[in-house]
Structure 1
Amino acid sequence: MSNSTLQKIELIADIEQHQLGMRLDQALAEIFSQYSRSRIKDWIVNGYVKVNDVVVDKPKERVLGGEHIVLTALIEEETNHQAQPISLNIVYEDDDILVINKPRDLVVHPGAGNPNGTILNALLYHYPQIATVPRAGIVHRLDKDTTGLMVVAKTIEAQTRLVESLQLREITREYEAVIMGIITAGGKVDQPITRHPTKRTHMAVFPTGKPAVTHYRVMEKYRAHTRLRLRLETGRTHQIRVHMAHIAHPLIGDPLYGGRPRPPKGASEAFIHVLRDFDRQALHATMLRLFHPISGEQMEWHAPIPDDMMQLIKVLQEDTRLHQDEIDW
């Protein structure tokens, strides 16, 4: 017998034009990505979804784009996961939101292979009331070994508004990365992303994928690598990693998309050692800007580059300085 409490949620959005022809459950799972497609399908079947003010209870119904959606449902609090005393680097907290600077080696949400020891488990310990919020308030994720800033909602109202802000692209997320090869000027990658057809842990650029846009600018060029500042316009799984690999500039250390490290000719042993030992994607969420979900105030946070990436950057800078005469860019 469960002693969990039920909480009412209301989600409001419009079907996007690119979703023309999608099933209703598929379109809503894409829009309300913090909930599983199976859960959304159940909500539709149970009559919790209104399309243009009319209840639609058929998940297979096709959408045209532009329809107004109101989803009202009851959800159980997060009782399946255990509160664990895991340290969090909290850079900001009030009654409605938390902003965390995530370290490497920490998974955001429990899943296959990571049933506990995650940020979600830590949040349940730090703030037990967050159990009443879906996914313990997690609005967006960072990959396990990506470091940097994440916002978490402490209430359902804050989560609903933050998710809406994400969909409206009102939340600005900027990253720093170190990539293989030389990029001489800034630009953008506008390529759709979906699950890889055969490698289930990978994502890939594919025409039928979800729209994905990554903007980048050059911060510093080295002999055979480039330091970039990137801004996400969308938030697909592995987006920066997939987009950079797609344009033949994968991130240093990326275990899925990176390939073997390629030190430039004449590199020192110290340089080669640091490059080969860098065992995670060189990616850090350095800036987060949003409108507070309750007060509406614009807020901005910055997280310094972590030590392992700074060591990598210093070695690249030193190698470039030592070989300045050979550089022709």
Structure 2
Amino acid sequence: MSQQIELNGVVADHQYGQRLDQTLAEMFPDYSRSRIKTWIQQEQVRLDGDVVSKPREKVLPGQQVLVNAELEDEVRFEPEAMELDIVYEDDDIMVINKPAGLVVHPGAGTPDGTLLNALLYHCPSIVEVPRAGIVHRLDKDTTGLMVVAKTVPAQTHLVAALQAREITREYEAVAIGHMTAGGTVDANIGRHPTQRIQMAVTPAGKPAVTHYRVMEKFRAHTRLRLRLETGRTHQIRVHMAYLKHPLVGDPVYGGRLKPPRSASPELLEFLRGFKRQALHAVMLRLEHPITGEVMEWHAPVPDDMIALVEVLRADTKANPDDLVWI
């Protein structure tokens, strides 16, 4: 099902020389910029009566805008009663502490049992928001904080804030290898040239920037705090593997097990049994999309990562003169 909509407006003086998609996003804030861009490319937008098809088209004050577009209904998914760890909620947004094993959005092989299904049950009106308000994702086995928009205007503002790099997301992780200092990875990320389900650092990819600092050093591992400047798929996992320090337990980018020499049987067993990437979204800070208030949330590190750190800390304490530099 779909519905036909008609939108009218006039380009304002302050919008002189702006891109058409930017102008329309300002004029019609109930619709996302990506949706508006699609309408332009599908020739559903007119300027002073002339059809335009390029989102980059520059506008002039006083131009008449007419949008005749077909608003496709979102694919409908079923609500499911699932427990959610809601850190914060108001009329416009929710902040959720996602557990390991929870897929964010239905896809091939995972038609239900996802965060999206749970959101539809918890907040039925969110069905009117594209992607049930999901504006950014965490991988299935990454834990921690996510913000969800409950209304279309909130989603539009949050997406714009993400694109403008105005939302701060920090993570804790445990990486393989002994890292001596923090730094920044500025390396484009795109699809792996041969392994299509994987991402990789590639010149043809999209810009990706990750900042990291060392929190604690172990014999053959390092505990890190990381901050995303961009939000590419698998970004932290790919960037750390690119540095030759993949995350502990990462089933895709982790490579072979690399325990410290003379590792105890307990440590070996623990590392072999840690089956997810040791990555947790620990802090989220943003301006509320409606009120403009700066808000910040923290999520405690989950038990499995606490146990991992304790095991590595005990191993290091038992072998203080035996640091392995990788």
TM above 0.5: yes
1:269 to 265, 272, 275: 265
Equivalences for residues 215-226 of structure 1 within 5 A: 215-226=211-222
| Partner-residue secondary structure (3-state), 1:256 | coil
Percent identity between the two aligned chains? 62
How many residues get paired?
Answer: 298
* Residues in 1 aligned to 2:290 and 2:316: alpha-carbon distance in whole angstroms: 48
User: Which residue of structure 2 lines up, in the alignment, with residue 16 of structure 1?
Assistant: none
AA aligned to 1:168 is A
User: Which residue of structure 1 lines up, in the alignment, with residue 279 of structure 2?
Assistant: 283
In the TM superposition, residue 75 of structure 1 has moved relative to its aligned partner by 3.5
User: What is the CA deviation profile of residues 127-154 of structure 1, one whole-angstrom value per residue up to 9, with x for unaligned ones?
Assistant: 0000000000000000000000000000
Q: Post-superposition, which runs of at least 4 consecutive aligned residues in structure 1 deviate over 6 A?
A: 4-10, 34-39
AA aligned to 2:41 is I
* Alignment check: 8 A CA contact 1:101 1:303 kept: yes
The worse-fitting range, judged by mean Cα deviation, of 277-286 and 71-80 is 71-80
* Residues in 2 aligned to 1:71 and 1:297: alpha-carbon distance in whole angstroms: 34
User: What is the CA deviation profile of residues 39-75 of structure 1, one whole-angstrom value per residue up to 9, with x for unaligned ones?
Assistant: 954652142488xx9852268xxx59xx68x997664
Is the alpha carbon distance of 1:40 and 1:116 closer, same or farther for their aligned partners in structure 2, counting shifts above 3 Å?
A: farther
1:45 to 26, 42, 67: 42
Q: Which runs of 5+ in 2 are unaligned?
A: 9-20, 26-30, 60-64
User: Which residue of structure 2 lines up, in the alignment, with residue 19 of structure 1?
Assistant: none
Q: Which runs of 5+ in 1 are unaligned?
A: 11-23, 29-33
AA aligned to 2:245 is H
In the TM superposition, residue 326 of structure 1 has moved relative to its aligned partner by 2.4
Equivalences for residues 117-266 of structure 1 within 5 A: 117-266=113-262
* Alignment check: 8 A CA contact 1:77 1:133 kept: no
* Residues in 1 aligned to 2:268 and 2:33: alpha-carbon distance in whole angstroms: 44
TM normalised by structure 1 equals 0.83
| Partner-residue secondary structure (3-state), 2:245 | coil
User: Which residue of structure 2 lines up, in the alignment, with residue 299 of structure 1?
Assistant: 295
Is the alpha carbon distance of 1:47 and 1:77 closer, same or farther for their aligned partners in structure 2, counting shifts above 3 Å?
A: closer
User: What is the CA deviation profile of residues 165-212 of structure 1, one whole-angstrom value per residue up to 9, with x for unaligned ones?
Assistant: 001111000000100001111100000000111111100000111000
Is the alpha carbon distance of 1:171 and 1:9 closer, same or farther for their aligned partners in structure 2, counting shifts above 3 Å?
A: farther
* Residues in 2 aligned to 1:113 and 1:35: alpha-carbon distance in whole angstroms: 28
Aligned-CA RMSD value? 3.1
Is the alpha carbon distance of 1:92 and 1:77 closer, same or farther for their aligned partners in structure 2, counting shifts above 3 Å?
A: farther
Between structure 1 and structure 2, the one with the greater Rg is: 2
